Structure 1
Amino acid sequence: MRRFHIGSPEWSPPRVPLQLPLGFGSLGWLAHLIRKHKLDLTEVDLAPVAQACYDYWREVGDMDEAGDALATLAYLTERKAQRLLAPDPEPEPDDAADEWLAPTRLPDAYLRVAEQLRQREGARMQLFFRGGAVDPRDYELPPEFGAELPDQLWLAFKRLLEQRMPLPDAIPHRRYFSLHARMIEIRERLQGAAQPLPFDALAEDALDVLDLLVSFLAMLELWRLGHIAVRLDEDGCVWLSAEVSGG
């Protein structure tokens, strides 16, 4: 008679002892061998397994282990039922419907129209670098670079970066930056100003590129949260001001 647990004499939980024609061991190790496809579940009689679980629960009285064993037994029962029950028969195809829906049965005029539509769609898609919209007639070409506020923000930030000192080759000590503290500093400065401040004022106290980058990220986060307003004047200058409605 083969022993369920191989290589180790310890019982695998659930520790319900089983005496089956296939071998003897624990319920946990039986489930393990079935999951590893070392035993065929269809050849295992689950009625003696259920009786062994019941006898073990009455003898030991451990409800936690009883719950584990019950879950394992339910798993084995469900898996065996799935293998024994025959699958539902597939519905027979309706030959008449398949013949009617076949593309070869469509009128020739429809096929020509469909091919023309595909050709026009392909030609239309080549006009738009983003792959085309749902309705290409509603598509609008993007404005030239520099005409929108985000473009001017990037140009202003690039100009400030060129004015800052470059990063040293060797950093003697590690510097720490607080984005939240910089956000508070910029917001308080804008709230205390009588009028909007130019974007260049953001870099007045920046020591180097890293310090300027932290200030720029803090400004973008304040703008995203609606705590500050960013506008572009006629000359292309960027101005910052505090929003009264910001929380």
Structure 2
Amino acid sequence: MRRFYIGSPEWSPPRVPLQLPLGSGTLGWLITLIRRQKLDVLEVALAPIAQACYDYWRTVGDLDEAADALAVLAYLTERKAERLLMPEPPAPEPAEDAEPVPLSMPERYLPLIDYLRACEAAQSQCFYRAIPPDLTAYETVLPWGTGLPDQLWRALRRLLQRVAPMPDAIPERRYFSIHARMVEIQQHLQRAGAPLPFETLAHAARSVLDLLVYFLAMLELWRLGQIEVEVQAGEIIVREGRL
């Protein structure tokens, strides 16, 4: 019974030792190189391989390996004969530059093309005069006085100067929930039952980011009509909305 070989291809059976320009190995290694196209079969001399197979069989005396070696040698002979007898491929003839064939346009599209060209010519003769927009047609009047946004900004800027500034590098990613701050502001107003300063509602803010989240939550509640906001003596006052 023949033994299956597990190992590197350099020592794969048949184990007939060979000396090649690429290195030394077995006859099985030679077949591996040819199949992987690392060696051209035309560069392999078959007579030394046949002599090596005969010497190996005389030394070892294993008929199974001798049969394998003869089968491999026959395979190499057939492959080399095919390559030697194969006719050379004909040289490719220089391709003549064929004249480009004009594309034929379907006749049913010709009237449409003429119509589009006529429309384009008529459009090029039209000139439009720019009219300044009427700002009163789409601008809406704010429900508060024109000075309230400026007052809010000045009051917020004073609060921002009191908290810790933004760090140059945030050590960890923090999660800010505007909805949670909205609920917190509503609960403070309900418990107090009276208007409260925004600074009191945002007393837990320790940094600029925390204070801005509280401010955005207040603006969202104001937009929804759930609270009312005004500025008194440079301080933001928040009260529950009138539903």
Place the TM-score, normalised by the shorter chain, in its bin.
0.3 to 0.5
Structure exhibiting the larger radius of gyration computed from Cα positions = 2
